[in-house]
Amino acid sequence: MQILDVMQKALEGKPLSENDYQLRRFSPKVKEKVKEYDIKYDPDNPVPSDDSLADDVFKAGYELFLDVGAFCMDTGRVISYTESEVKEALRNAPDKLVMGEGRDRKTFVPRKIGDKTPPWCLLGAGGGAISTDESFLRLMEGYAEIPEVNAITTPAITRAGGIRIRPRSPLEVLGAMRNAALAREACNRAGRPGIPFMNTLSTAESAIALSAAMQPRYGLRASDGFMIASMDPMKIDFDRLNKVTVVLSMGAPVGMDFAPLMGGYPGGPEGTAITTVASHLMGLLTLQSSYLIPFPLHLRYVSNSSRDLLWTISTMGQAISRNTHLLSLSLNYTAAGPCTPMVLQETCASAISAVASGLSIESLGTAQNKYEDRMSPVEPRISAEAAHAVVGMKREDANEVVKALLKKYEAKLPNPPLGKPHWECWDAEARRPSKEYSKVVRDFKKQMSELGVALKPET
């Protein structure tokens, strides 16, 4: 499948209004597949161990994609694929990616359930917003120094020349160029000049901003990854396809991130799990993606650490890992903010659910990822430590750990603590957490040890 083939389908596919695609085509078909395969959410097992459930979710998602395709918003047409096209794409999907340069050059491989291969850890801000260049640099240095980091997800700069960035304006173009240059500078400072940025340029919403920032002078490389977002449910537009075209012309890998909204068009956790599987296939064919970043979100909590969404993450992860060799990373969003026990509990519950189910991780978006400066290098570091600590853990054991963590925080999800901005919980000069946050981390690690998950001792 080539981008020209995708464009032909976008121009010649079945005409349909966006509303009809969402409400009359997509949503009814999701409900039909949930009923056909008798898929049922089990709140007592947020990390299920039922292989037949995983396989049924995969079959349902596979058939959903064949039935509904993707929707092109610019042409008002459905981009449909034949089963032979999907099978060929799955056969030919990359089974590894070599990312980065020099001593930071490493190979990202798929994982299976119970796999003892360490997860690929894409760490950082998860696209969170940062208010100043200096804060951007300090946080990026902190991310680059995390021992488990394989690649970095950069924050989004919100101002250019002191002016708040407006989408699709020269301010966005300037901000994206600044994002790229500062990210590479920070990693050079940290002694990690070759580390890849796999969720690159959160500032670049438009194709023109991404294209401008990809000039070699700003430090981006073909060994980085370029993440492009789809829209819920399974929608795409020309601007995103323009990004794909530019990235592929550079010889770089495309990643697609997607956030099926539980409580929205996919329905409950069962439909959201099926939709997440179908979205993997959409990314593979429509955006020519080499790696996929699912992050289903809760309509009310705008996070994915709730019991039902941990079940969704686990189930769809098992579906993908059992039935494909796709490179998939689960991105977690927490409801709570930095410097709180809850944020660590949430992110570890999500990371453990994903890794035990055969996925790698991207960590993370904190405080629902909607507040400026509510992030620090502590949360992704703890996520990565937990992810590495449970490598090879059985799903049944992971299920017990996750249930114990849920008991500590799930009652707080409707009104989570916002935490503190990074300058109050991260000592940028010493490059370590504040005294207050250090105590929170030590206490949390003691709790995790009692649950049978040994994280690294704090120094």
Q: Average the pLDDT over 117-121 and give the result.
A: 97
- In the numeric block, the tokens 């173009």 are attached to 173
Average model confidence (pLDDT) across the chain: 96
Q: Which token pair is 259?
A: 């956030």
Query: Could you tell me the pLDDT band of residue 290, with boundaries at 50, 70 and 90?
Result: very high
Q: What pLDDT, on a 0 to 100 scale, did the predictor assign at position 199? A: 76
**Residue 33 maps to a domain:** no
Q: Average the pLDDT over 273-278 and give the result.
A: 98
**Residue 161 maps to a domain:** yes
User: Tens of pLDDT along 318-353?
Assistant: 999 999 999 999 999 999 999 999 999 999 999 999
Find out whether 405 and 348 touch, Cβ atoms under 8 Å.
yes
Q: Average the pLDDT over 113-136 and give the result.
A: 93
**CATH number of the domain residue 180 falls in:** 3.20.20.460
**Residue 141 maps to a domain:** yes
| AA identity, residue 338 | P
Q: Average the pLDDT over 440-458 and give the result.
A: 96
Least trusted range by pLDDT, from 191-205, 262-276, 408-422: 191-205
Q: Is the pLDDT assigned to residue 373 strictly greater than 90?
A: yes
Q: Is the pLDDT assigned to residue 161 strictly greater than 90?
A: no
Q: What pLDDT, on a 0 to 100 scale, did the predictor assign at position 200? A: 63
Q: Average the pLDDT over 273-302 and give the result.
A: 97
Give the count of domains, the chain.
1
What range does the domain containing 383 cover?
117-450
Give percent of the chain above pLDDT 90. Answer: 92
**Residue 399 maps to a domain:** yes
**Residue 292 maps to a domain:** yes
**Residue 11 maps to a domain:** no
User: Tens of pLDDT along 378-402?
Assistant: 999 999 999 999 999 999 999 999 9
Give percent of the chain above pLDDT 70. Answer: 100
User: Tens of pLDDT along 222-241?
Assistant: 999 999 999 999 999 999 99
Q: What pLDDT, on a 0 to 100 scale, did the predictor assign at position 311? A: 98
Instruction: Give CA–CA dist 285/5, Å, rounded.
Output: 10
**Residue 2 maps to a domain:** no
Q: Is the pLDDT assigned to residue 1 strictly greater than 90?
A: no
**Residue 393 maps to a domain:** yes
Q: What pLDDT, on a 0 to 100 scale, did the predictor assign at position 142? A: 96
